[in-house]
Amino acid sequence: SSSAQRRPTGSANPGGGANQGSYDKPWRQNMAGKGNAAGAAGGKGGGPGGAAPGNKKQYIGPDQELATMLERDIIDQGINIKWDDIAGLEEAKRVLNEALVLPMIMPDFFTGIRRPVKGVLLFGPPGTGKTMLAKAAATETSCTFFNVSSATLASKYRGESERMVRVLFDMAREMAPSMIFIDEVDSLCSQRGTANEHEASRRVKTELLVQARGGCQIDGVHGGGGDKDKDSASADGEPPAPRHVFVLAATNFPWDIDEALRRRLEKRVYIPLPGQAQRLQLLKINLKDVDVAPGVNLDSVAAQLEGYSGDDITNICRDAAMNGMRRLVAGKTPAEIKALREAGKDSFKEPVTSEDFQQAIRKINPSVSKEDIKRHEEWLNVFGST
Ligand code: ADP
């Protein structure tokens, strides 16, 4: 499938006609070459908007390659995670809804004192649902989702990472509404690694702050509306389509984030380990496709899982659900297993028992330490905000 899937079409984008005339960025034509409908329309180019004075950036060769790489590596297509797929985290959902989703639906309302918050940071131990929240917010807003790992920025695109950030924001503006999700944002500030690595990530961070300020921003998630939009609006008298680029960052190490970046990320939302109710919800979400034996008390399983992350609980459920199959095939030859399989789908139905859960719990330990939680809570007390 192509990225056109999540890109606004001409009809969904009132300023689109004129905008598309000005799509002379080489990477856009690249995409047109891939049979992308929106890109193909842009490929026509040459309209009066094509020479729009606001459209001053012209990419030279290497950026086309970068854009193609970015499209392949970073644009996450076809995500379809709903708020309800995420157990608990009601406060985080509320913040994201107010900071990102509602401003997109009713931008007029979010002006003046109600301007949307600048950046949003999700912090907390690993495996607690930060990435899921970002994806759900993107699904809710039908955004093009740029899933950027800072570690990738600093290593894979080494040497080109600053340019990469520029191209990334440009693409995001063109494909707006967009969400740039920067995972592991701490690694942009990290003091670890060699001097060269450190220098590279410092430059990426600077570029990110610059882009975010000049563009549609980490510094104000609200729609961009630069000169270019004004120009393109005049063609048919329609108001310009807002070019929202939302920036959402996540980290497992908030204390590594330096002040400059922290100040941009106005809302800092703690994503903690799940409590009892959320653990029960996680069990139910994970086990929705399997049969659970009647004697299993999920409440008490959830209670046993205190200290486990959402990701750990997924692993426990997977392991427990596999146990039934293991029991069925134990001591059988491949031919016998095949015969069993051929006897029908139901012959492999083996409900998950209490003992399956106990075995899984014995095998899988919580991945997050108490010290880690303590450190997060301390940081929350000093820098958290919702
Ligand atoms: P993080 O980004 O915080 O490290 P993820 O969002 O990638 O964590 O979650 C990893 C996996 O853990 C998910 O794919 C999902 O299976 C499970 N998970 C974690 N938290 C939740 C949650 N709140 N609701 C549902 N599943 C969760």
**Rounded Cα gap, residues 18 and 10, in angstroms:** 9
- Please give the pLDDT value at position 252: 94
Q: How far is CA 334 from CA 14, 227, 350, in A?
A: 61, 68, 19
The ligand 1 atom nearest the CA atom of 183: 2
3-class state of residue 64 by DSSP: helix
Q: Residue 238 pLDDT > 70, yes or no?
A: no
Residues composing the chain? 386
**Residue whose CA is at the smallest distance from ligand 1 atom 18:** 310
Using an 8 Å Cβ cutoff, are 250 and 121 in contact? yes
So what's the pLDDT on residue 176? Answer: 79
CA distance 314 to 310: 6
Cα torsion at 312, 313, 319, 325 (round to 10°)? -160
Give the DSSP per-residue string, 11-40. TT-TTHHHHHHT---HHHHHHHHTT-HHHH
- Residue 382: count of CB within 10 angstroms of its CB: 9
Higher pLDDT, 121 or 71: 121
pLDDT for 303-329, tens place per residue?
A: 999 999 999 999 999 999 998 888 888
- Report the nearest-CA residue for atom 14 of ligand 1: 311
What distance in angstroms lies between residue 348's CA and the mean position of ligand 1's atoms? 28
Greatest mean pLDDT range, 22-31, 241-250, 377-386: 377-386
Question: How many Cα atoms within 13 Å fall on the side-chain side of residue 173?
Answer: 23
Model confidence at 3, pLDDT cuts 50, 70, 90, reads very low
Q: What is the pLDDT of residues 165-215, one digit of tens each?
A: 888 888 888 887 788 898 988 877 765 556 666 666 677 777 777 776 544
- Which residue's alpha carbon is nearest to atom 12 within ligand 1? 311
Residue 260 — very low, low, confident or very high, per pLDDT cuts 50/70/90? confident
CA of 132 to the centre of ligand 1 (A): 6
Lowest average pLDDT, out of 21-25, 37-41, 153-157, 218-222, goes to: 37-41
DSSP string of 228-243?
Answer: HHHHHHTTTSPPPPP-
Q: Which residues line ligand 1 (CB under 6 A)?
A: 86-89, 126-132, 250, 282, 285, 310-311, 314
Nearest CA to ligand 1 atom 5: 129
Task: Return the ∠ at Cα 182 (arms to 202 and 61), rounded to 5°.
Answer: 70
What is the C-alpha separation between 129 and 60, in angstroms, rounded? 39
Site to probe by mutation for ligand 1, drawn from 80, 128, 248, 251 as the one with most ligand atoms within 8 Å of Cβ, is 128
Q: What percentage of the chain has pLDDT greater than the value 70?
A: 67
SS3 122: strand
362-375 pLDDT, tens digit per residue, is: 999 999 999 999 99
DSSP string, 71-109: HHHTEE-S----GGGS-S-HHHHHHHIIIIIHHHH-GGG
How many angstroms does the Cα of residue 292 sit away from the middle of ligand 1? Answer: 22
The arithmetic mean of pLDDT across residues 251-265, rounded, is 87
Confidence label for 50 from pLDDT (cuts 50, 70 and 90): very low
pLDDT given for residue 346 in this prediction: 66
Give the chain's mean pLDDT.
Answer: 73
The pLDDT of residue 314: 97
- Cα separation, 122 vs 163, in Å, equals 26
Cβ-Cβ contacts under 8 Å for 214 (sequence gap 6 or more): none
Which residues sit in the known binding site?
Answer: 124-131
Q: How far apart are alpha carbons 208 and 264 in whole angstroms?
A: 11
Q: Which of 139, 284, 311, 364 to mutate to test the pocket of ligand 1 (most atoms within 8 A of CB)?
A: 311
Helices 310-329 and 334-342, interaxial angle, to 10°?
Answer: 100
Q: Report the pLDDT value the prediction gives residue 281, as an integer from 0 to 100.
A: 96
Give pTM, 2 decimals.
0.75
Nearest to 124 by CA among 360, 314, 367, 350: 367
Kindly list the strands in the beta sheet with 267-270, ordered across the sheet, starting from the edge strand earlier in the chain: 75-76, 144-149, 178-183, 245-251, 120-123, 267-270
Distance between CA atoms of 95 and 118, rounded to whole angstroms? 12
CA distance 77 to 128: 22
